[in-house]
Amino acid sequence: MTKFKRAFAMIITAVIVALGLTACGQSTSKSTANQNTTTNVSAQASVRPSKNAWKHSSEKKAYPNMKLSKKNWLDVSIKKQRVYVKNKAGKVLYTMLCSTGNDDGTPRGTFHIQKERGSHFYNASSKEGANYWTSFKDHGIYLFHSVPVNKAGKYLMKDAHELGKVANSHGCVRLSIPDAKWINSSVPTGTKVFIH
């Protein structure tokens, strides 16, 4: 019976993720919340978009150790196209370039990192996919992930070069390859995500 339950759970998870990745945020839902969104100006100034920013970590310093504090959280600024890793007091620990959803496609509000994550997906209907995806809403619908890839797994240069400059996703939060990989491997399930 345990094998049956495990197999059933895996099939259900695969179906949910497949359906979610098909949409990757194409339907929008909005929620609002009041949060402290204080940003560290010096941290913002040090992270600027460049043509090849999508290949590198957004900052030259090490990523924060998320295991040291369960109170660290992710602050996504749609206006600035940035993701800030903040501590409990709101101090910016790390700043990442991002590209959020065009046409107001990224949901606003408070969410949490969910257990669904993976190394790669491809959506045949939108003819794009991404690497290092991590769900933050609707269990596989809204994700943090790398800049997009085509069916062959090659990065889409036009979109990649716009990282941190333009909101051009279907609703997910696009990141540089190393930044997406870090969130995927180091940000614990349950971490707060505030999007405004």
What structural domains does the chain harbor?
Answer: 2-195 (2.40.440.10)
Positions marked catalytic:
145, 172
Q: Tell me: the pLDDT tens digits for 37-84?
A: 444 444 445 677 777 899 999 999 999 999 888 899 999 999 999 999
Q: Tell me: the pLDDT tens digits for 144-188?
A: 999 999 999 999 999 999 999 999 999 999 999 999 999 999 999
Q: What is the distance between the alpha carbons of residues 38 and 63, in angstroms, rounded to a whole number? A: 20
Q: Are 87 and 71 in contact (CB under 8 A)?
A: yes
Q: What is the distance between the alpha carbons of residues 163 and 138, in angstroms, rounded to a whole number? A: 24
Q: Is the whole model's pTM more than 0.95, yes or no?
A: no
Identity of residue 129:
G
